[in-house]
Amino acid sequence: SIAYSNGQFVDLNEPVIPVEERGHQFGDGVYEVIRVYQGKPFMLKEHLERLIRSAQAIKLPIEERLTDYEHLILKGIEKSGLSDCDVYIQITRGISPRNHLFPDVPVSTTMTVKPSKMLNPELREHGVKAIFHPDERWANCYIKSLNLLPNILSKQAAHDAGCFEAILVRDGFVTEGTSSNVFIIQDGKVYTTPLSKQILPGITRMAVKKAAENLDIPFIEEKFTPEQLKQADEVFITSTTSEILPVVHIEGEQIGDGKPGEITKSLYKEFKTFIK
Ligand code: PDD
């Protein structure tokens, strides 16, 4: 594992963040999590573009640094010596005496490169359980911001209920998971929440769309209710770290026959071919 803080590669445990860093005082920043397979960052361009869009949305002008970030990530991977790893990169509004107004200081960049958290293979094989939870987040969930308090509270609620993920519900419709996008399959068609300010435009979601196209499986971006999810033939969630993960129980009830579905499996198989 390796860490980076504003110009220096450091040991992961080295204390490098000044107290008056806006990332931890205000959550005033954005981040990305990128999966690296065999030394190659997966869909790096898409992650960098989303990072820039998130930054723009919080008025952090970093677009001219895109290639710097790209080089930094590649260098970090190389320095870590790791082949299958996760890159976490965070950009904040910088270090300045605490004041709500934007300071006139350079942005802060920090990064970690660590071995990929290996998902228990049982979970992938047998699927995971989920709960529903009210979506208590703000109005701009399309920004990958550091403010994750509602996400971690609902994820913990899922964990405390013996489940892997909390599926968030706003105004009677499923939005997404605490750290994943949500999909249902009904009558051979894949449905997922349409992109809007209410959800993060997942990079894995993008890959699933491509996989569905390749397999001629209709991919429909349409809202659905918790009830529709319960009645679905198959349900799965996606994220950079968990890829495509079948959901087989919701609120203690079985989905379909309680086993990962065939369409989910074929989408995952197709997804795997994108990793080279
Ligand atoms: N989370 N929705 C939310 C709220 C997320 O936090 C994430 C990812 C996703 C899936 O996006 P992607 O496919 O681009 O990873 C959807 C990351 C992995 C995290 O915070 O650790």
Residue 48 C-alpha to ligand 1 middle, in angstroms? 14
Q: For atom 8 of ligand 1, which residue has the closest CA?
A: 179
Identify the band that residue 276 occupies on the pLDDT scale cut at 50, 70 and 90: confident
Identify the band that residue 118 occupies on the pLDDT scale cut at 50, 70 and 90: confident
The predicted pLDDT at position 140 comes to 98
Distance of alpha carbon 267 from its chain centroid, rounded? 18
If one residue of 179, 183, 242, 244 were mutated to test the ligand 1 pocket, choosing by the most ligand atoms within 8 A of its CB, it would be: 179
Q: What is the CATH number of domain 2-115?
A: 3.30.470.10
Give pLDDT tens digits for 125-175: 999 999 999 999 999 999 999 999 999 999 999 999 999 999 999 999 999
Q: What is the amino acid identity at position 73? A: I
HEC secondary structure over the chain: CEEEECCEEECCCCCCCCCCEHHHHHCCEEEEEEEEECCEECCHHHHHHHHHHHHHHCCCCCHHHHHHHHHHHHHHHHHHCCCCEEEEEEEECCECCCCCCCCCCCCEEEEEEEECCCCCHHHHHHCEEEEEEECCCCCCCCCCECCCHHHHHHHHHHHHCCCCEEEEEECCEEEEECCCEEEEEECCEEEECCCCCCCCCCHHHHHHHHHHHHCCCCEEECCCCHHHHHHCCEEEEEECCCEEEEEEEECCEECCCCCCCHHHHHHHHHHHHCCC
Q: For atom 1 of ligand 1, which residue has the closest CA?
A: 179
User: Which candidate in 117, 144, 155, 272 is catalytic?
Assistant: 144
Fold classification of 121-273 is D-amino Acid Aminotransferase; Chain A, domain 2 (3.20.10)
Tokens (6 digits) for 262 = 């065939």
Residues 6+ apart with CB under 8 A from 216: none
Give pLDDT tens digits for 165-182: 999 999 999 999 999 999
53 φ/ψ angles, rounded to the nearest 5 degrees: -65, -40
If one residue of 181, 192, 199, 275 were mutated to test the ligand 1 pocket, choosing by the most ligand atoms within 8 A of its CB, it would be: 181
Give pLDDT tens digits for 202-215: 999 999 999 999 99
Taking the CA of residue 88 as reference, the ligand 1 atom at the shortest distance is 21
Global pTM reads 0.97
Going from N- to C-terminal start, the domains of the chain cover 2-115, 121-273
Please indicate whether residue 276 is annotated as part of the active site.
no
What's the whole-number average pLDDT of the chain?
Answer: 97
Is 32:66 a contact under the CB 8 Å cutoff?
no
Residue 249 C-alpha to ligand 1 middle, in angstroms? 21
Give pLDDT tens digits for 230-239: 999 999 999 9
Residue 9 C-alpha to ligand 1 middle, in angstroms? 25
Is 31:144 a contact under the CB 8 Å cutoff?
yes
Average pLDDT over residues 220-225: 98
Residue 146 C-alpha to ligand 1 middle, in angstroms? 12
Q: Ligand 1: list residues with CB < 6 Å.
A: 33, 176, 179-181, 200, 202-205, 238-241
Map tokens 């909390």 to a residue: 166
Identical fold between 2-115 and 121-273: no
In DSSP terms, which residues pair with 37 in a beta bridge? 40
Q: What is the ipTM of this complex?
A: 0.98
Q: Would you call 36 exposed, middle or buried from its count of C-beta atoms within 10 A (0-12, 13-18, 19+)?
A: buried
Average pLDDT over residues 87-93: 98
Q: For atom 4 of ligand 1, which residue has the closest CA?
A: 179
Residue 13 C-alpha to ligand 1 middle, in angstroms? 25
The predicted pLDDT at position 182 comes to 99
Q: For atom 5 of ligand 1, which residue has the closest CA?
A: 179
Taking the CA of residue 207 as reference, the ligand 1 atom at the shortest distance is 13
End-to-end Cα spacing for the chain: 23
